[in-house]
Every structure is written in structure tokens, then in C-alpha cells.
Structure 1
């Protein structure tokens, strides 16, 4: 594994101030998305990693800005962030380190600018989101906000010759699964904030209501256990439907995408195992299982590179 300094060299991030910006974003992304970051650090092409870090950091900052907004404040905060982002992209500079990294990434990937615009348009859905009445509303949220957010990084991995619509369709299935798992993992936090990622329709199907969750169910609640299992099964169905994505990315990105699928499977397993305890604390992946998974894919990637080099 190359050092971070040599990784920035390979990505042509050469000014000291910009290298410091990227290093700051890397630290924040690693702290927030430990498993996914480790997969990217070990398995993505070195020259691509800083740009993936940049867009993920931008997505995280956008999320945080909206999550911390007071009731009724989200739209105005989003408008200010949109203005800052567009000014940065137009001028090529910004007082914000996250936006400076985003500008740098867009310079290497011109198509990324359109994805940023799609994400900002979808962010209005997140800014006004307070919960879901039905499964259909959840699906609309994923299509309008979660998918454009995911495509910020996914667009960097695609083979240019692959069908764009089919590629995005597989990405849609994958982010649907990831979002569903996230909402289950974050249930305790979401109940406290009053914004549930589980629809009222789904709760009602299991004889539950938001008030039940606010009061706190006992950890052995069979109704919540059943709800968690059902939602995990739906997430796993979406993961299975998205598997074609592994053949549509740049071959150098294949090991990372395959590992990403297995990370989501581990997260789904952790949520299923927790059951009703998701109402107490977010479940986490075993560090040992994660390490084994990453070592497996790193070994495969090294073998493939060696075989390719030997055949030349």
C-alpha cells in the first residue's frame, strides 16, 4: 500500500496547501466511514483515491449542514451552501477546504460537475425531509437524494464504454440497500431526533407506531425484531439485484466494488443479529471480520496485478 504522500503525487495534487486540504478530508472520511474508507484505501487505484475522498467529504459536509439545521432552516442553509459550491466551481477556489478539494477533483473529472449539480438539486428533498408515510415515499427519497449522492463517487469508477442507464440502475439498487441498512443502524439516533427512516406504513404492518419507539421497547420485542428482519431481507434483495455493477466498473476498481458489496453484507448481518437492539445502539461490523475481508480482496488484487504484469 502506497503512503498517503505518494498517493497524492499519483493524483497530481502537488501544492502544499491543497495536499493539506486533501489530508484533512481523508482523516474526516476515515473517521466517519471506517469500513468503506479502508476498502477504498487498500483496493482503489492510487490515482483515484483522493478524488473519491473529496466527493465523499463533500457529501458528508452537505448532510451535516442539513442535519444540524433547526426546523424550517434547512432550505435556507442549503441555498447558501449551493451558492458557495457554485462559486467555488466557477472561480476555481474557495475559503472552504472541502470545496477546494471538490474543485480539484472536478478538474480531473469534468463530468463530475453535472453530478454535483444533480446532488444539490436532490438535497432539497433532504432539507425538507421529516420522515416517510409509505414505502413509496422512501423509494422517492432514494431516487431523488440518495442516488445522486452515491453517484458522486460511483461516476468515477465506471468504464466509459458501459451503458450509462444500466450502470446507474445497478447503482440505484445498491444505494437502496445501503440506505435501508443505514436507517436501521441509525434507528436509535433517528428516534431521538424525531425523523424516522422507517415508514409509518412499515411500522403499522408490524403493529408499531413512532410513539412505541419513543417510549423504548424491550430488547426482546418480537414486533421490532420482525420489522428489522424484513427490512434486512429487502436490503439483501437489492444487493443481489445490484451485483452486475461489479462487471461494469473499471477493472482496476473491481476489487473495491466487490469488497463494498461484502461490507454491506456484513453490515446487514450485524443489523439482523442486533434485531430490536438497534433501538438501543447502532450495530457495528466485527473488526476481525472486516480485516479478513479486506485481506482477501487485497490478496486477489495483488495476484491479478502480478499476473497481468507477467503476461506483458
Structure 2
């Protein structure tokens, strides 16, 4: 892992105020994402890291303002943040350290302002989230919130990265990640009044919200959870296969989170219908074969990235 001061230098962040802003963003992500932060700092090229962390901090703060439980939603805070972002895109500056770092990344890496506005617009619609009636509602949320988030992150890694972003790949990766996260957070979401599974699917299996909130492991609940796990596994396998055919940069950036989702889904499958009663923890002990295979893929992708950027 490269020293943070050298990482900032590799990312072209020389101004002292900006260095402090990017450090604030890095600390913010490290506090909220204690598992993904070390992986990002270890695996990805140092020149990418400050910008990816700034984008991730901006996106996570935006999501935290929009994705609150129904009883704790305060749309005024979100709209004030969205307005400050819109103003910052015009002026290039802000009074908020996280936003200043992100605006600098937007400027130096040429992130289209439309990407930022799309993400904010999707999160604004998320303020009124009350559940999905059908699969179509879930996919609309995927298109309006999850894919814009991934687009924003991937576009931030370096100059002109936005032009290389594959929308279809991000859609698959976003679908896989969302399905796994919804299963892992099932119990937590239920406790705060959220349910991310379409009502039509629950009805098909004869499951009621009361069944889920009570933690009853009826045959219907077990069948529903098994179905949701099979769906998540199929989409995750499809996303991983698509990533094998992606370019080196996309593999380097997207493979680690997909590997994490794979281990998380394994824990969900073992826990079964009990996920309605307790949160699933990420399994941090992959098998030796998985660890070796993942390490070799990351080293290969990083070498390909380094070779590409070394060419005249």
C-alpha cells in the first residue's frame, strides 16, 4: 500500500487545501467502508485512488441523505446538498470539504456534469421510495440510481475514463451487487420499515410482510428466500462472466467488489431464511484456491493497465 502523501502526489493533488480535502474524503470512506477501503488502497493504481475515494465519498454522502428509513427522511437536507453540488459544478468550489475534493476530480478527469446530475436526480426520486410493486419497478430503480452511481465512480478514476465506461457491464454488475446487498441487509431493512423485494414476488410465494417482520420461517418464506438467492447467484455469475471479457481497467476496478459479493452471497445461502432475523456478515476467509485465483487475476489486470499507460 502506497503512503497516502505519495498517493496524492501520484493523483496530481498538490495544493495543500485540496490535499486536506481529499484526506477528509478518504477518512470518510475508511470509516463507512472498513472492508472495501483497504482493498481499494492496496489493489488499485495510486494515481486513481484519490479520485475514486473522492467520488465514492460524494456518492455515499448523497446516498445517506436520500436512502433514510421512512420515519427519518428529511428531504430538505438532501435538496440543500443537491443545490450545493449544482452550484459547485458551476463555480468549481464549495464550503464542504467532501464536495471540494469531488469537484476537483470532476474538473481534472473530465467527468461529464450530466453523470453527476443523473445520479442526483435518481437519488431525489429515491426520497419517495415506498417499495417495489413489480420487477419493472426494481429495474427502474437500477437504471436511475445504481447504474448512475457506478458510472460516476468508474468515470472518476482518470482523465477520459468516462468514454471507456461500458453501460451494459455496469448494469450487470449493479444488478448483481444490489440483489446480494438486499439479501444481506434483509433483517436490518425490515427493522426500519424498508422492503426491497417486489410485492408481486412475495404474493407469488404466498409471503406477507408480517411473515417477514415476525421472522417466521414458514415453508413459503423459505421458498421465497431460496428463489431470491438463486436469482442473485445467476445474475452474479453472469456479471462475472461478462467481466472476464472486459478491458483491463474495468476488470481491475470491478472485480474486487464482485468477489466480495460472491463471498457474501455464500454466507447468505448458508444462512437461508434466517436472513430475515439477523444480518449476514461478509466472509473474509476465502479458500486458498479462491484467494490465489483472485490475486492472480488482479495482478494480471494491474500489469495490463500499467503496460497500456506506459506505451507512447
Change (3 A) 1:23 1:289: farther
Residues 100-179 of structure 1: matches in 2 within 5 Å? 100-156=100-156, 167-179=166-178
TM superposition shift of 1:308: 9.0
Please tell me whether the aligned partners of residues 74 and 128 of structure 1 are also in contact (alpha carbons under 8 angstroms).
Answer: no
> What is the aligned partner in structure 2 of residue 206 from structure 1?
205
Change (3 A) 1:67 1:89: same
> What is the aligned partner in structure 1 of residue 85 from structure 2?
85
Long gaps (5+) in structure 2: none
TM superposition shift of 1:289: 2.2
Residues 218-233 of structure 1: matches in 2 within 5 Å? 218=217, 221-233=218-230
Q: Which structure has the higher relative contact order (CA within 8 Å, separation 6+)?
A: 1
* CA deviation vs aligned residue, 1:90-144 (integer Å, no higher than 9, x gap): 2222121110111111122222422111101111221111111112211111111
State the number of aligned residues: 306
TM-score (norm 2): 0.85
Change (3 A) 1:174 1:303: closer
Long gaps (5+) in structure 1: none
TM superposition shift of 1:298: 5.1
Two-structure CA RMSD over aligned residues (Å): 3.1
Q: What is the alpha-carbon distance in structure 2 between the residues aligned to residue 6 and residue 129 of structure 1?
A: 42
* CA deviation vs aligned residue, 1:151-171 (integer Å, no higher than 9, x gap): 111234686775x6xx10111
Please tell me whether the aligned partners of residues 45 and 253 of structure 1 are also in contact (alpha carbons under 8 angstroms).
Answer: no
Residues 142-291 of structure 1: matches in 2 within 5 Å? 142-156=142-156, 167-218=166-217, 221-242=218-239, 243-249=241-247, 251-252=248-249, 254-289=251-286
Change (3 A) 1:257 1:63: closer
